[in-house]
Structure 1
Amino acid sequence: MEKKNSKTEITRKEALQRMGKYAALTAVGTFLILNPKKAHASSLPADPGGDGWPAP
């Protein structure tokens, strides 16, 4: 006897709505992980104490 999986089948519109929600959550999570202000604050300067000119 076959069972119908009518609950597991969704329409194209419902699938796009679900993917939109996942995309939004992914964007927020990525922004929180890769926050530019925190990344900049934790990075070291390229040459501490140097004036940018090579030594003679």
Structure 2
Amino acid sequence: MKKDNSTDKLTRKDALKKMGKYAALTAVGTFVILNPLNAQAGSPPDPGGNPLD
């Protein structure tokens, strides 16, 4: 008993559109999480320095 999935098939063009939306959402989310200004503010002034100084 096989189902005819001809109505569920996705064209290459539609798939690329969907992937573009996911990629844009991922880029925005990554930028928000790894915001460079917040990362810089939380880092020590000399991250490679001697801790005994």
Q: CA RMSD in A?
A: 1.6
Structure 1 gaps, min length 5: 48-56
Question: Is 1:18 the equivalent of 2:18?
Answer: yes
Once the 2 structures are TM-superposed, how far is the Cα of residue 44 of structure 1 from its aligned partner? 1.1
Which stretches of structure 1, 4 residues or more, deviate above 4 A after TM superposition? none
Once the 2 structures are TM-superposed, how far is the Cα of residue 28 of structure 1 from its aligned partner? 0.3
* TM-score, normalised with respect to structure 1: 0.73
Structure 2 gaps, min length 5: 48-53
* SS across alignment from 1:23: helix
* TM-score, normalised with respect to structure 2: 0.76
Residue 37 of structure 2: aligned partner? 37
* Whole-angstrom distance in 2 between the partners of 1:17 and 1:27: 15
Q: Percent identity?
A: 64
* Whole-angstrom distance in 2 between the partners of 1:33 and 1:20: 20
* Count of residues in correspondence between the two structures: 47
Residue 3 of structure 2: aligned partner? 3
- Report which of the two structures shows the higher radius of gyration computed on alpha carbons: 1
* Whole-angstrom distance in 2 between the partners of 1:19 and 1:2: 29
* Whole-angstrom distance in 2 between the partners of 1:44 and 1:8: 54
